[in-house]
Structures are given as C-alpha cells and as structure tokens.
Structure 1
C-alpha cells in the first residue's frame, strides 16, 4: 500500500496562499528549494488539484530553458517533468508532462491509487487535499512554516468531523526562520 503525504508551504497563521492566491511570501531559500527538489525527485506519484496544477505547469515545463535558470531550477524542472502526476479536475480537458487527468470522484481514485504498488505519493492543492483529509487518506503532513502572517487566504487544514492524532517524525530549521515539521497519522 502506498503512503500519501500532504506537503505545502504554510504561513504561520495556517494559509497555503494569501488572499488573491498570492504566494510571494513563500519564496524559498536555496536550502529549502533543494529540499523541495529532492522531495519531487523521490516522489513516486504526485496528485494535483486544478489550481496548483495550473500554477506548476505554467512555469516548470520550460523553466530549465530560461537563460537565467540556475542549476537548481534546471534540476527541479527536469525532476518535475519526469515525475508521474495525476491531475484532478472537472474543468480541464488535457494535461501534459507525464500526467494523467482524472475527472471523476477524487476520493475513490485516491483510495484506488493508495492500494496500488509503487512509491510514495504527494498530494498538493488545498481543495484536493481537504477531500483526502476528510476521507482519512493522508498518512503524513509535511508543513513548511514561514514566519509571516498573511491574515487570510487558502487554509492548509480543512474542517474535520473527527480528531486526527499525529506523531511528530521530523523537525528541521531552514534559513530565514522557516521550520519543517513532519507528522505521521496514528491509525
């Protein structure tokens, strides 16, 4: 059975995006960018909601071809293109770059994917992750907390019907006061 992790940059007040989908507060240090790149390189399958897919696919497929691309950006772009991906959307009709589109029920498909053999899965996008969270499908939360209060926007956590007990499995400090905390769901 595959493990499903929800990993995102989060403001100290709990948002993955500020109002207007502003992500300017979450620019990573070189060390944090490398951590994200290594995570992409080790992910067996990435699950994306439509909005996050549109953000990622508008930049990373050709980021390594930009004249000012750094070696780290070139590596990330290659890893991102190569990583198998599934996009969940009822409005998209096509996807590219080693990606499959699912237009049906996300919880049913994520449950099926978890039962498959293969490497770990990462889920991204607040709406998609919220559905998986409410269904009890997330095995790990990797919260990369930035020292900023954005005052509103897209929350990392959704409202739940029941408590979810977690065990801390890792903490790590990054430059600029950014803190990674990883928690495993206790079942």
Structure 2
C-alpha cells in the first residue's frame, strides 16, 4: 500500500493561510526551501486540491526562466514539473505540467491510488486533505510550524468526528525558529 503524507507550512495558531489567502508569513529560509525541494524529489505522486494547484501552477512551470532566479528555485521548478500530479477539482477544465485531472469522488480516487504499486504520495490543499483525513487515508503529517500568529484563515486541521492517534517520528528546527514535526498515524 502506498504511503500518503500531508505536509504544509502552518502558523503557530494552526493556519495554512491567513485571511485573504495570505501566505506571505510562510516564506522559507534557504534550508527549509531545500527540505521542501528534497520532498518533491522523492514524491512519486502529488495530489493537489484546486486552490493549491492554481497557486503552484501559476509560478513553478516557468520559475526557472525568470530573471535573477537562484539555483535552488531552478532545481525545484524542474523537480516540480517532472513530478507526476493529480489535480482534484470540479471547476477546473484542464491541467498540464505532468498532471491529470480528477473531477469525481476524491476519496474513492485516493483510496484506489493508495492500493496501487508505487512510491510515496503527498497531498496538498486544505479541502482535499481534510476529506482524506476524515476518510482515514493519511499515513503521515509533516507540519512545518512558523513562529507567527495570523489570527484566522484556513486551518490546517478540519473539525473531526473522531480522534486520530499519532506517533511523533521526527523533529527538526530550521532558521528563524521554524519547527518541523512529523507524525505517523497509529492504526
């Protein structure tokens, strides 16, 4: 069975985006950016919700062609384009950059993908990840906590009907007081 990881930048008060979908509080240090890039390099399949897809696909396909681009961004852009992706959306009509579109039942599709042979999968996007979490499909959480309180916005964790027991498997500190905590789901 394939492993499914949900990893995101999170404010200390638990939000992945501040009001107005503001993400400016989560600008990574060079070291953290490299960590994210290395995750993309080992991810065999990325699952995106519509909003995250729109954010990523509006920048990374041509980021390596921008004036003054740094080598780390060139590497990430290449890795991102090469990584197979599945985009879940009922309103998007087409996707590109090594992606395919799923307009139907996300939980059913993710359940099927988990049973297939292959390597690790990452999931991103609050709504999509919440559906996978509620269905018990997420195996690991990679929470990158930034030392900022944004006061509201899009929460990392949705309201749940049941507890999800976790086991801490890694902690790591990045510059600026950013803390990575990785947890596996106890089954």
- Provide TM-score, normalisation by structure 1: 1.00
| 1:79-158 equivalence runs, <5 A | 79-158=79-158
Q: Once the two structures are superposed, what CA deviation does each residue of 1:13-38 show, in whole Å capped at 9, x if it has no partner? A: 00000000000000000000000000
Looking at structure 1, the residues matched to 50 and 68 of structure 2 have their Cα atoms a distance apart, in angstroms, of 28
Looking at structure 2, the residues matched to 136 and 161 of structure 1 have their Cα atoms a distance apart, in angstroms, of 11
Aligned pair count? 187
Question: Deviation at 1:68?
Answer: 1.1
SS in 1 for 2:36: helix
Q: Once the two structures are superposed, what CA deviation does each residue of 1:69-124 show, in whole Å capped at 9, x if it has no partner? A: 10000000000000000000000110000000000000000000000010100000
How well do the aligned residues superpose, as a CA RMSD in angstroms? 0.3
- Provide TM-score, normalisation by structure 2: 1.00
Looking at structure 2, the residues matched to 104 and 142 of structure 1 have their Cα atoms a distance apart, in angstroms, of 27
SS in 2 for 1:69: coil
Listed as ranges, the gaps of 5+ residues in structure 2 are: none
Looking at structure 1, the residues matched to 70 and 113 of structure 2 have their Cα atoms a distance apart, in angstroms, of 34
Looking at structure 1, the residues matched to 31 and 142 of structure 2 have their Cα atoms a distance apart, in angstroms, of 16
Residue in 1 that maps onto 2:35:
35
Looking at structure 1, the residues matched to 67 and 160 of structure 2 have their Cα atoms a distance apart, in angstroms, of 46
Note if 1:178 corresponds to 2:178: yes
Q: List, as ranges, runs of 4+ consecutive aligned residues in structure 1 with deviation greater than 6 Å.
A: none
Listed as ranges, the gaps of 5+ residues in structure 1 are: none
Looking at structure 2, the residues matched to 115 and 157 of structure 1 have their Cα atoms a distance apart, in angstroms, of 25
